[in-house]
Amino acid sequence: MKFTEELWEAALPIYNQIENHSFNQELKTGILPVEKFKFYIYQDSLYLADFARALATAGTKAGGSQDLLDFLEFAQNAILVERALHISYFKEYEISHDGVKAPGCFAYTNYLLSVSSFESFEVAVAGLLPCFWIYKKVGDYIYANQTKPNAYQNWIDAYAGEEFAASVEKALSICNRIAETASSATRQKMKDAYITASRLEYIFWDSAYKLEQWPV
């Protein structure tokens, strides 16, 4: 069994909750209230800036230059490709640029920055993997089951698309390769990091659905 298959099995209950979350169910049928989508897009724009930093930081820990290049390319895509999608939504929905990270976004980005800064390349890669893989799975699921026409079609197409799929395949293959030579203690830490990030993915959707705010 590939290591990533073990990861998938370990976090499957969390993934199922993400797929069934009202945010994704309503995105799928296009009935998600626009104010929740706007909240999500704004939070995600804050998320992507730190996600890119975490990817670049993880890359500096890679043993080989190809892995470094791949992580730098992932970081670049997070800013140039995923952000481009956000920019069009910022215009369409007139989303303003002022605001702070909600608690869910704050927790998730801080985790990614911390795992990429203070853990090994192996653990950092596993901690960053849900950002790729869960989005791909959610994108594919929504694409296959969506109600058409759907107000959120561009978002759905981006994460169910081939360009994103190629990055996900690359991240999965790096993770499998480095897990092969990792000790069992490191593999356990990789699994823990993967599960933590998967939980934070759930929290991020949930935060958007609830329009989560800090206590005042």
Q: Does 42 bind ligand NSP (CB under 6 A)?
A: no
Pick from 42, 47, 111, 141: which binds ligand NSP (CB under 6 A)?
47
119 binds ligand NSP (CB under 6 A): no
Number of residues binding to ligand NSP, judged by CB under 6 A? 8
Which residues, at least 6 apart from 131, have a Cβ–Cβ distance to it below 8 Å? 51, 112, 197, 201
Cβ pair 60, 25 in contact under 8 A: no
Given candidates 4, 44, 119, 168, which one binds ligand NSP under the rule CB under 6 A? 44
Rounded-to-integer distance, Cα 112 and Cα 119, Å = 10
- When asked if residue 106 is in the footprint of ligand NSP (CB under 6 A), the reply is no
CA 46 from chain centre, in angstroms, equals 13
Neighbours of 178 (CB within 10 A): 23
Considering the complex, what minimum distance in angstroms separates the CB of residue 112 from ligand NSP?
9
The piece of 6-14, 44-52, 120-128, 182-190 that touches ligand NSP (CB under 6 A) is 44-52
C-alpha radius of gyration, the chain, whole number:
17
Amino acid making up residue 83: R
Nearest CB to ligand NSP, comparing residues 75 and 123: 75
58 binds ligand NSP (CB under 6 A): no
Cβ 159 to ligand NSP, closest distance in Å?
A: 7
Q: Does the footprint of ligand NSP cover residue 131 (CB under 6 A)?
A: yes
- Taking the least distance from each CB to ligand NSP, the nearer of 3 and 135 is 135
- Distance from C-alpha of 63 to C-alpha of 137, rounded to nearest angstrom: 29
Here's the x/- map for ligand NSP, 76-105, by CB under 6 A: it reads as: ------x-----------------------
What is the rounded distance in angstroms from the CA atom of residue 113 to the CA atom of residue 120?
13
Element (H, E) at 56: helix 34-59
Query: Closer to ligand NSP at the Cβ: 48 or 160?
Result: 48
